[in-house]
Amino acid sequence: MLAALLLAPALMPVTARAEGVEITSAGLESTDEGYKLAISFSFELTRGLEDAVTRGIPLYFTTDVQLTRPRWYWFDEKAISTSQTIRISYNVLTHQYHAAISGGLQQNFSSLDDALSLVRRPPRWVVADKGELKSGATYNVAVRMGLDVARLPKPFQVHALNSSDWRFTSDWKRFTYRAE
């Protein structure tokens, strides 16, 4: 009887929340402006990250994109390497969250979840100009997103190295794209 009680927790299914970021969809599309990345993420902030942002510490979420063209005679040609950062912060005086995309959109939100919706589904952005990719060539695309701890204030950078709450990143998502 005692052995059954001790083994019961080990046999029960574990329903823990997955940590980190999952890329739910990613793709490139050709437009008149260039090649735009359409991407969406699924994640929940850890309790430590929620506490930090509500106490006025800005969080920086960076999406990295790499395009390479395979070659049979040598290493793959690195065609494009770019990134975009979204900053989420909280203003204690106005009780509003602020989201800003590097070099572009800035918007205020009344809740953290609304502000994070901009991170979860960022607007499409140009990762390559129209002439940068060779028409008809196939490219390997790799995308990832995570918390950029290098942009945090110094004391939090040290804390981020020692705390699993601050390790917040996705795996690389890879797919192929034929340029038009």
> Model confidence over 32-54: pLDDT tens digits?
999 999 999 999 998 888 998 99
Number of domains the chain contains: 1
Domain-located, residue 37: yes
Domain-located, residue 47: yes
b (16+ CB within 10 A) / e for 82-96: eebebbbbbeeeeee
Domain-located, residue 31: yes
Domain-located, residue 61: yes
Domain-located, residue 164: yes
Residue 4 or 42, more confident:
42
Domain-located, residue 12: no
- State which H helix or E strand residue 63 sits in: strand 59-69
- Structural contact between residues 104 and 126, judged by C-beta atoms closer than 8 angstroms: no
CA neighbor of 126 nearest in space, from 179, 96, 83: 83
Residue 151 or 39, more confident:
39
For helices 112-120 and 47-54, the axis angle rounded to 10 degrees is 110
Domain-located, residue 10: no
Structural domain span for residue 113: 22-178
- Global pTM? 0.82
Domain-located, residue 142: yes
